Structures are given as C-alpha cells and as structure tokens.
A and B are shown apart, each in its own frame.
Chain A
Amino acid sequence: MTVDYASALVAAVFFAAAPLMLAALGETVSERGGVINLSMDGTVLFAAMAAFAVARGCGNPWLGLLAGAGAGAAIALILAVFGLFLGASELAVGFVLTLFCRELAYFMGHGVARQPGPDLGSLSVPGLSDIPFLGQALFGQSPVVLLSLAALGLVWWFLARTRPGLVLRAVGESPRAAASRGVAVRRVQLLCCLAGGALAGCAGGLYSLSVKPGWGHPQGCEGAGWIALAIVIFGGWKPVRVAFGALFFAAIQVAGIALQDALPGLSGALFQIAPFPVMILTLLAVNLRRSTAFREAARRVPLLGRLMPRSAGGAPGAIAGALDKGF
C-alpha cells in the first residue's frame, strides 16, 4: 500500500465522516440538554431532500444547506412541542417523526428525484492543504470536512467553556435542580433541541449536496441517522469522542467500499450493512465496559481493562433512565 493510497483513504474517511459527525454532534447537544431526538434518521433524510430541492431551485448550494438546517430545526420544533409542552413520550414522538419525515421526504422530493443539481464543490485552503498526509484530507478536498471540524470545535467550546453551555449541561443533568435555581428549564431544552435539529439538518444537506449528491428514492443515506444516535452513546455524550466515533464508522464504510473492489467475489449487500452489526457490537462493548461486574473483573485481571476502550462516562441524568437502562 503506497502512502498516496493511504492518504486517499484517510481523506475518504474524513469526507464520509463529515455528515455523520454533524448529525451525532447535533444529537449530543440535544441529549446533553436532556432531550432525546429519536427522529435523527427522518430528520437527515428530510433535510437532505429540502436542501437539494432549495439548492436546485435557487441554484445556490449554500442556500440549500441553510434550508436543510431550517428543516432539521422545524422537525426538532415538532418534537419539542410534543415532548416538552404537551407531555407526550419523546421516544414515541421521535420514532413516529422518523417514519413520517422519511416518507414525507420521498413524497415531497418526487419532483426533484434523479435530477441534476448543484453541489458544494471542492475547496482547497492554500498552505494548509500542503501539510503532508493529513493536509489533503482536512484542508484540500471539500468544504464539508472543514464544516464538520468547525462544528466539532464550536460544540466542544460551547459545552465546555461557555456559560449557556454550562446551563444546558445542568438542565440535562437535573431539570429539577436547575428549576430550583431559577433556570427556565423548558426554554433551555427547546433551544438545545432546535440547535441539535439544525445541526442534524446540516448533515442531511451535506449528504444531498456533497457526500452522496442528488436526491432519489432511496437516497443512499438511509440509516445514517440511526448510526449517529448510536455514535452518541458510543462517544459517551462527549463531543470529541463522538467525533472519533463518526470517523470510526466512516472508516468502516470506506473499508467496505475498498474491500469490495479488492474482493469482487463477495456481494456488495454485505458491505452495505456492515456498519449496523458493528453498531450493535460497539454498543455491547461500551455497555459491558460500564457494568459493575466488568469493573470488578478488570480489577482482578488488569489486562481486561486495558484491552477494552476506556469508559467514556454515563448518560446525562435527565435521560439516563430512557436509553441507558438494562436489567
């Protein structure tokens, strides 16, 4: 394997990871504030459709991306109204929205299906793209990669370093305690849900405008939203770990495509579904790693603890019961 080939693979991984990273970061923001937005898959698809349709209509892909973000925020608004203000189950509404938005995307997008349209093109940052090995991957190929890295930096800085980020984390850990200190809990949760939805909407836009350009039934990014949801758990609700999770799953996709070329005997169907068993296995590993029985075993056999990935912390308090449960 030449250095050039390896460098190209790394570039492909960062490119494929960009929308996954945005969607997973969006869900991270939402869940750190205590709102589980289960509608990720539908959000990404619908936003992809909306972004492509608007970009085609206006001839400007960046307006399309904005429309995608708006669509994502609108879906998050529906979820927030039901979950926060009508007291419905977030999981149930999120799941119905997943199906609804997916079908709505296919229905509304029928007119622009299999049509040519603009895309975000490529972009090279002078100077930085000449850095050996990683330069081309990060700064030399597409604005998509820069966008995802910028989102990562922004989300990390917001959650870890700003006052509103601190309030958001506090609300996600204990809404009751936050309310007793005078925080307007539902307003904070509404805002974090909207911001998360907008980020996921951007992810949809990145798919239809760059990573898997165009629209169709199917589009090709089906299932990405679910993987983003799993990445959040895998990353322990921490932005940087979540970003690594997105890179990991993108690497699996890229490896699938690369192996498909290398081993033509195996069916492509197997490589397309590869991320999903890996998703289940990573969740299994992460959850077993967090169990007390494993901690006790690792105390006796230190090697075990070193072999498994380091525990990334638990779920925010407000949602710990909802998705982190086990018997």
Chain B
Amino acid sequence: MTRRAAPLVRAAWALAAAFAVTLGILLAAGAPPFATLAVMAEGGLGSQAAALRTLAAFTPLLLCGAALCVTFAANLWNIGVEGQITMGAIFAQGCLRAADPAGGLPAGLDLALGLAASALGGLVWALLAGMLRTHGRVHEIFSGLGLNFVAMGVSLWLILGPWKRPGMASMSGTETLDQALWLPALGGRPMSMVGPILAVAAFVGAAWLLRRTFFGLTLAAVRQNALAATRLGLRPGLRILAAMGICGALAGLAGGILVAGLYHRLIPSISGNYGYTAILAVLLASGSLLALPAACLFFAVLTVGSVQLPLSLSLDSSLAGVLQGVLVLTLFAARRLRPLSRRREP
C-alpha cells in the first residue's frame, strides 16, 4: 500500500463499517434497509428537480465548510455557525424587506446590499463569540452554542412579532419577498445559480487564504502554539477575531442566499442544521481542502434524500444526520486503528 493510497483505503474501510452500522440501526428501528437507502438515493439524485434541491443544500454546506476551514485552521471550535447563518438570514431579510423594488435602486444593487448585510450579520454574531473568547475567556463552544439558541429565538420573535404577516402571525415565516428581490434564475431554470457560484468562489478563496498567504501561515502558528505566537508579536487574539469574522461573514452569506435564493422569506430554523452538518463534513474531509466539496456534496444528497422518508416509509428524516454521524465516527476509528502497533511510551 503506497502512502498516497492510504487515505483512500481508510475511507473504504470507513464506508464499509458505516454501511454495516447503518444496516444494524435500520434493522433495529424495524425499517427495510435497502428500500430505505434506495428512497434516499432517489430523493437526492433521482430527477432533475431532486438534483437541484441537492445543489440548493450543497450551497450553504460548502459555504459553511469553507468558513469552518478558516476557524479550524486557528484551532477554534466554531459551533456557532448555525447561529451565524440565522443572523445572516435575519440581516438579509431586514435589508430586503426595507428595499423598495419599484423605485430607487436597481434590483441588482438591492440584492447585493442584502447579501452584504447578511455577511455583516454573520460577522457580528461570530465576532461576539470571538470576543467572548479573547476578552472574556469563554470557550467558543459554549458562546457559539448559546448564541445559536439566541439567534433562533430572535428569528422566532421577528417572525411572530414585528415582521409577522399582515393579519396573522404564522410559523410558516414572514411574507414572501417581491419577486424582483429574488436571486435571478438564469436560462429558465427553476433555481438561481448565483448561490452555488458564490459558494465555489468562497471555497477557492478560503483555500487560497489558508494555503498561499502569510495570514494562513499565522493562523497555523496560532493553532500550533498561541503562547509562541504571542512571543513573536503575532497577536493571536486579533487573528482569532479575524478568523471568526471571516467564518461568520461566509456563514452569514449562506443565510442570505437561503433567504434571497431559496425561501424568499425568513422562516423559523432557517439554518436547517446546515451549520452542524458542515462541521461534520469538515471532520469527514479531515482537514483536506480537496475532499471538502465531495464531503459536502455527499451530505447534501443525504440531507435532501431523507426528506422523502416520512412520506414514503414513515420513518423520521433524521436518518440523514444518523448516517453522517456514523460515517464520521467510523472514519475516526479507521484513522486511529491502523497505527496500533506503534504505541508511544508515556
């Protein structure tokens, strides 16, 4: 086995083990295993509409995945992506509902402003968690998680309160935006391609930032040894804030694209678990930037495919999350089981 092939072999082992564990879980839940997997594959890839839905899920996943690569590079557990998506969506909705499509600015500029606002919303929310870490010594796992719940509460409050539909508040979300403020769908397609293009651009940008720039090197230095970075005057606190800010801006952008490109309104739980799923995707790619898009795509297929489960097989759609978790855990095991022979002395 060559060095280059080793990760592939590990991935194969992990897949096989994940498959076995999944079969066990499905049998334990009394579900027909193969029919279930077939429904998921069909739901995620079976038709053009399904493929477009998968692409729509892939967009926020890749954006958040790229965003998380930046924070992981600085050794930050940015669990707050979920809330940063939500805040981005809230800012975008706030900006777009204030826009007047009939007069004033051209619709393209309104949209650009809306997306910029969404990035700002995510940035603010991430910086809050970052400053709690750098200035308040609160670990970002707790601040991020707490802020996720807060962002969710704020969005619920807006939907049921100040931004409620005329007449009655509804859990189905705010009023739909004017069609002029939707991200444009080119060539008669049912979905805008602006989101996916932005996501790929963000991913390439993040990869370039981390691999090719001095900033990327300083983030690696902060991850490796924050004390030594302080000693060299690299100001780890500032760099942590910068990494959090970049991550938050991209996650917020994902929220803005969900509002302007997919739902065309603010809905409760608009972040749709994409933030947590993206963390799993980054862990599955295990630090490899090349593997990240593939991991995001795979998870998007699972997420979209599982939506069919309650209807066709009367199963809970959370099976997607189960599969994603199993896959990451088996990969951890496959990665750790090999070097068992050379155990270090204490």
Whether chain A touches chain B in the assembled complex (some CB pair under 8 Å): yes
| Residues of chain A having any CB pair with chain B under 8 Å | 38, 78, 82, 86-88, 91-93, 95-97, 99-104, 106-111, 113, 176, 179, 217, 223, 226, 229-230, 233, 267, 269-270, 272-273, 276-277, 279-280, 283-284, 287-288, 290-291, 323, 325-327
Q: A86-B332, A86-B336, A280-B147 are in contact. Are A110 and B139 (CB under 8 A)?
A: no
Q: Confirm or deny: B333 has a beta carbon within 8 angstroms of a beta carbon on chain A.
A: yes
Interfacial chain A residues near B149, Cβ < 8 Å: 223, 273, 276
Interfacial chain A residues near B141, Cβ < 8 Å: 38, 91, 95, 323
B240 to A284, Cβ gap below 8 A?
no
Report the bound CA distance from A108 to B346 in whole Å.
Answer: 41
A176 to B137, Cβ gap below 8 A?
no
Interfacial chain A residues near B145, Cβ < 8 Å: 226, 276
B325 to A104, Cβ gap below 8 A?
yes
Q: Which residue of chain A has the shortest Cβ distance to B151 in the bound complex?
A: A273
B332 to A280, Cβ gap below 8 A?
no
Q: Which residue of chain B has the shortest Cβ distance to A290 in the bound complex?
A: B137
Report B138-166 residues with CB < 8 Å from chain A CB.
138-139, 141-143, 145-147, 149-150, 152-153, 156-157, 160-161
Q: Which residue of chain B has the shortest Cβ distance to A104 in the bound complex?
A: B322
Interfacial chain A residues near B134, Cβ < 8 Å: 326-327
B329 to A93, Cβ gap below 8 A?
yes
Q: A86-B333, A100-B326, A273-B150 are in contact. Are A107 and B143 (CB under 8 A)?
A: no
Q: Confirm or deny: B237 has a beta carbon within 8 angstroms of a beta carbon on chain A.
A: yes
Interfacial chain A residues near B237, Cβ < 8 Å: 327
A91 to B77, Cβ gap below 8 A?
yes
Q: Confirm or deny: B316 has a beta carbon within 8 angstroms of a beta carbon on chain A.
A: yes
A103 to B156, Cβ gap below 8 A?
no
Q: Confirm or deny: B104 has a beta carbon within 8 angstroms of a beta carbon on chain A.
A: no
Report the bound CA distance from A270 to B335 in whole Å.
Answer: 43
Pick the residue among A82, A95, A99, A280 that contacts B138 (CB under 8 A): A280
Pick the residue among B30, B156, B314, B320 that contacts A267 (CB under 8 A): B156
Pick the residue among A107, A223, A273, A323 that contacts B29 (CB under 8 A): A107
Q: How many A-B residue pairs have CB under 8 A?
A: 155
In whole Å, how far is B79's beta carbon from the nearest beta carbon of chain A? 7
In whole Å, how far is B338's beta carbon from the nearest beta carbon of chain A? 10
Q: Which residue of chain A has the shortest Cβ distance to B337 in the bound complex?
A: A86
Interfacial chain B residues near A223, Cβ < 8 Å: 149
Q: Confirm or deny: B23 has a beta carbon within 8 angstroms of a beta carbon on chain A.
A: no
23 chain-A/chain-B pairs, Cβ below 8 angstroms = A82-B329, A87-B336, A96-B280, A96-B332, A97-B325, A99-B324, A103-B324, A103-B325, A104-B321, A108-B28, A111-B29, A176-B346, A179-B346, A267-B157, A267-B161, A273-B152, A280-B138, A283-B136, A283-B138, A283-B139, A326-B136, A327-B133, A327-B134
A276 to B146, Cβ gap below 8 A?
yes
Report the bound CA distance from A92 to B324 in whole Å.
Answer: 14
Q: Confirm or deny: B328 has a beta carbon within 8 angstroms of a beta carbon on chain A.
A: yes
Report the bound CA distance from A229 to B142 in whole Å.
Answer: 9
Report the bound CA distance from A290 to B143 in whole Å.
Answer: 18
Q: A95-B279, A104-B325, A288-B136 are in contact. Are A230 and B142 (CB under 8 A)?
A: yes
Interfacial chain A residues near B152, Cβ < 8 Å: 273
Interfacial chain B residues near A97, Cβ < 8 Å: 325, 329
Q: Confirm or deny: B39 has a beta carbon within 8 angstroms of a beta carbon on chain A.
A: no
Report the bound CA distance from A73 to B316 in whole Å.
Answer: 25
Q: Confirm or deny: B236 has a beta carbon within 8 angstroms of a beta carbon on chain A.
A: yes
Pick the residue among B133, B315, B333 that contacts A107 (CB under 8 A): B315
**DSSP majority for the B interface?**
helix
Report the bound CA distance from A238 to B73 in whole Å.
Answer: 34
Interfacial chain A residues near B172, Cβ < 8 Å: none
A107 to B318, Cβ gap below 8 A?
yes
A106 to B137, Cβ gap below 8 A?
no
Report B90-111 residues with CB < 8 Å from chain A CB.
none
Q: Which residue of chain A has the shortest Cβ distance to B319 in the bound complex?
A: A107
Report the bound CA distance from A96 to B346 in whole Å.
Answer: 28
In whole Å, how far is A108's beta carbon from the nearest beta carbon of chain B? 5
B142 to A104, Cβ gap below 8 A?
no
Pick the residue among A102, A269, A284 that contacts B132 (CB under 8 A): A284
Q: Confirm or deny: B298 has a beta carbon within 8 angstroms of a beta carbon on chain A.
A: no
A277 to B315, Cβ gap below 8 A?
no
Q: Which residue of chain B has the shortest Cβ distance to A279 in the bound complex?
A: B146
Report the bound CA distance from A96 to B315 in whole Å.
Answer: 22
Q: A86-B337, A88-B336, A107-B29 are in contact. Are A226 and B316 (CB under 8 A)?
A: no
B332 to A276, Cβ gap below 8 A?
no
Interfacial chain B residues near A92, Cβ < 8 Å: 283, 332
A110 to B157, Cβ gap below 8 A?
no
B143 to A95, Cβ gap below 8 A?
no
In order of increasing CB-CB distance, the 7 nearest A-B pairs are: A100-B325, A103-B321, A326-B137, A273-B153, A86-B336, A287-B137, A106-B318
In whole Å, how far is B76's beta carbon from the nearest beta carbon of chain A? 11
A269 to B226, Cβ gap below 8 A?
no
Report B227-243 residues with CB < 8 Å from chain A CB.
230, 236-237, 240
Q: A283-B138, A283-B142 are in contact. Are A277 and B150 (CB under 8 A)?
A: yes
B142 to A226, Cβ gap below 8 A?
yes
Report the bound CA distance from A223 to B279 in whole Å.
Answer: 18
* A38, A96, A277 pick with most chain B CB within 10 angstroms: A96
Q: Confirm or deny: B25 has a beta carbon within 8 angstroms of a beta carbon on chain A.
A: yes
